[in-house]
Amino acid sequence: MHKNFYASGFLYHPRTEQILLQQKTSINGNSYWTLFTKKITEDKSGEEGFNELLQDTLNLNLKLNKIKIIYSYVSKELNKQNIYFAEVKSLQKFPASENTTFAWFTFKQIHKINVSEQTKHDIIVGQRVIDSNSRRDLGERTIG
């Protein structure tokens, strides 16, 4: 187990190939779409921490085997960062909270919405991992 790292990621609906992101509105009214992120400080795996985040944010409890790692990196701002995606069966709507909205997007739409370069990068890498997993599941050759 690790201490003091960040678990971030998105929900993925395979049938429609859409991902769920959150839009947070700051005090000054700026809004941007982000991955779900939580600092993990207890003796938990990243998958457990990401699942806890989904429970807290969306009231969604997934089986840990539905949560897949995309990749890990170290950033100056957040230290160690693990990026995940979690497959879901239904494309459900989640109610907005006071300053957070949730929406589903296709991978093509990501280039048209307000996201940081790091978030865009994490989503692009996530799409490649998802595509590679799909090819592997079909018995096709993959790099990983």
CATH number for position 46: 3.90.79.10
How far from each other are the two terminal CA atoms of the chain, in whole angstroms?
24
Q: Considering its fold, how many domains does the chain have in total?
A: 1
Give 79-135 pLDDT, tens digit per residue.
888 999 999 999 999 999 888 999 999 999 999 999 999 999 999 999 999 999 888
Q: Is residue 144 part of a domain?
A: no
95: which 2 tokens? 């109610």
The CA distance from 2 to 62, in Å, is: 21
**By residue range, what is the domain housing residue 30?**
5-137
Q: Is residue 22 part of a domain?
A: yes
Q: Is residue 91 part of a domain?
A: yes
Radius of gyration of the chain (CA): 15
The pLDDT value recorded for residue 75 is 76
Q: Is residue 143 part of a domain?
A: no
- Whose CA is closest to 48, among 60, 34, 58, 63? 63
Task: Evaluate if residue 1 carries a pLDDT over 50.
Answer: no
Kindly compute the dihedral angle of the four CA atoms of residues 129, 135, 141, 142, in this order, to the nearest 10 degrees: 0
Q: Is residue 97 part of a domain?
A: yes
Compute φ and ψ for 134, nearest 5 degrees.
-65, -45
Q: Is residue 142 part of a domain?
A: no
